[in-house]
Chains A and B, each alone.
Chain A
Amino acid sequence: MNAGSGVDVDLMEAAIWTETMSEFLGVDPGPVGTFLLAVVGAVFWGSVVLTVVGVSGIWFKRKFNARLGDRVAINRVGPAGLLIMPADSLKLISKEVVVPEGADPLLYRLAPMLAAVGVIAGFAIIPWGAGLQLADPEVGMILAFAFASLLAIPIVMAGYGSNNKYSFMGFEREVAQAIAYEIPLVVSALAIVPLVAYFGDTTSPLKMSEIVAAQQGSLWGIDGLPIPNWFVFAQPLAAALFFVAVLAEFSRNPFDLPEAGSELVAGYLTEYGGVNFVLLFLAEFAAIFFGGALFTAFFLGGGAGPLLPEPVWFLGKTFAFFVVVQWLRATVPRIRIDQLLDLGWKYLIELTFLNLLLTGAIIWVM
């Protein structure tokens, strides 16, 4: 796969956080130094992600949903209820942890931690901007999907380990849903890979930075067209299918069946409280942002945008994705589990494969 010329490889390598930092410091770090630099970067981006997730998960989500329902929501704790964030975190962290009887203590306690680790670690490959991305391996897109599907495992552990019937049904649904929408998720994104190779003129089109770079020209490579070559314009069907698949993969409305507040109490979260609940909740919200970051990188041109620096645009687009997800939450009713499977297996999979074939045919003709 590494068939690019030496110059290209140098440019790509320079687009990683550790390389940027060592160049900035003017030293050549060994493996240990690289690791330390990477830890600094990981702490930085981890804090950014956690801040955004915390603000939007605890405060913005409630405010926004209340506004859609013509309510006011939190407004007593600090200005506009903003101090609810430290208050809620402190409250939840200092709550007693009650392990339900008959539960598997190891699975029950390990699931929230694993959920948080998997989702946050996935942000390592998100292309925030040139020189800021933590890691840019050649298998970027595949690694992204690996991280995306990782969340299902802690949910199974939580659901099975809780010894609660609601949790059990929640995890059964989660597994069926995760495997039904895994395939449309990957195949719809696969349809942009030939486009990356075509417009980006590259031999490693799975790289996240290459995917973003290929979207920077004008649409379809036509000179002077004022529309950017974001794959949401070049591949609208793939973008729509990917959006639906992301919603289902991370169990967002109208596909939030594993939690299904009005049917299963809280699904796999039923027996969780205190710090374990915090971690699962965090993982769930971080997963929305992970999905949004993938959508931004694959279809919305990454950090492309006028005036503001790349990471700001990237985070802004990701946040816009989150807002749309919350909007759907307030407006679209939940579908049934059999309808969900039907939609996934009988329509999305076929459509994504047809879209892939269509893309291939267009590439072949061009």
Chain B
Amino acid sequence: MPANRFNAFTDYGVGIGLRIPHYQHIFEKKPVVDWFEIISENFMCDGGRPLEMLDRILEQYRVVQHGVSMYFGSAEKCNREHLKKLKRLVKRTNTPWLSDHLCWGSVDGRYTHDLLPMPYTFAAAKVTARKIRETQDFLEVPIAVENVSSYAEFHVSEMTEWEFLNEVVERADCGILLDVNNIYVSSFNHNFDPFVYLNSIPAERVAQIHIAGHSKYRKYILDTHDHPVIDPVWKLYARALQLAGKTATLLEWDDHIPSFDEVHHEALKANQFIQQSDTVTT
């Protein structure tokens, strides 16, 4: 049974990001992995090795698409050519849902290739929600938006980040990819209680959870995805499971990538929390 209408994949288990340094290990050892998350943009090409590798993975594993360039929060309209490319990939992977970030990153056709923070305003929520709806309608696949790590806030903001997230997902009627590491990073950078954030999100919309490591500096934290998950983030994860129930979970590790086994081992630590939440629910 789906936990809610945005989380029809409660039994998806724990996945890891598909990364090039692990290809050889995956093809040779064929490890048991619940699912792989791919960065959509790495496969939105017209041919060649990336698609060959993806097809080989698809023969044996479940794949979920995660994007970094939809920029739902950018003031400009959706790019139809981009959406067409994305839809071709969606058909190829048969992804059960698709995620991208609650952020902006392009303006006037110029791309920063970054996940820039939103001003938390009603105008921004309206623009963002409209684009998510358009994308969802075009791609014909459920969309989950991910909260990002941020390092700056705007004077113009009219609400908190979690209120903004609520506003957007309610207007767009979409799911949430809840990144508990991002909540932790932003809570340090912006001085808020991460549990207040967690307790305020519409748990019934959580379709997926991200966990990751980060880099702490004296005055701020950067979301580097190059370390194991720290205990405070595991605690947030446990709380998220209490709220949302069993949820597909993914470990992100994007830089200084260790061996496949090390990454997978780190990801599988999530299982103990999932089992605990299952026991509580039962």
Do they bind each other?
no
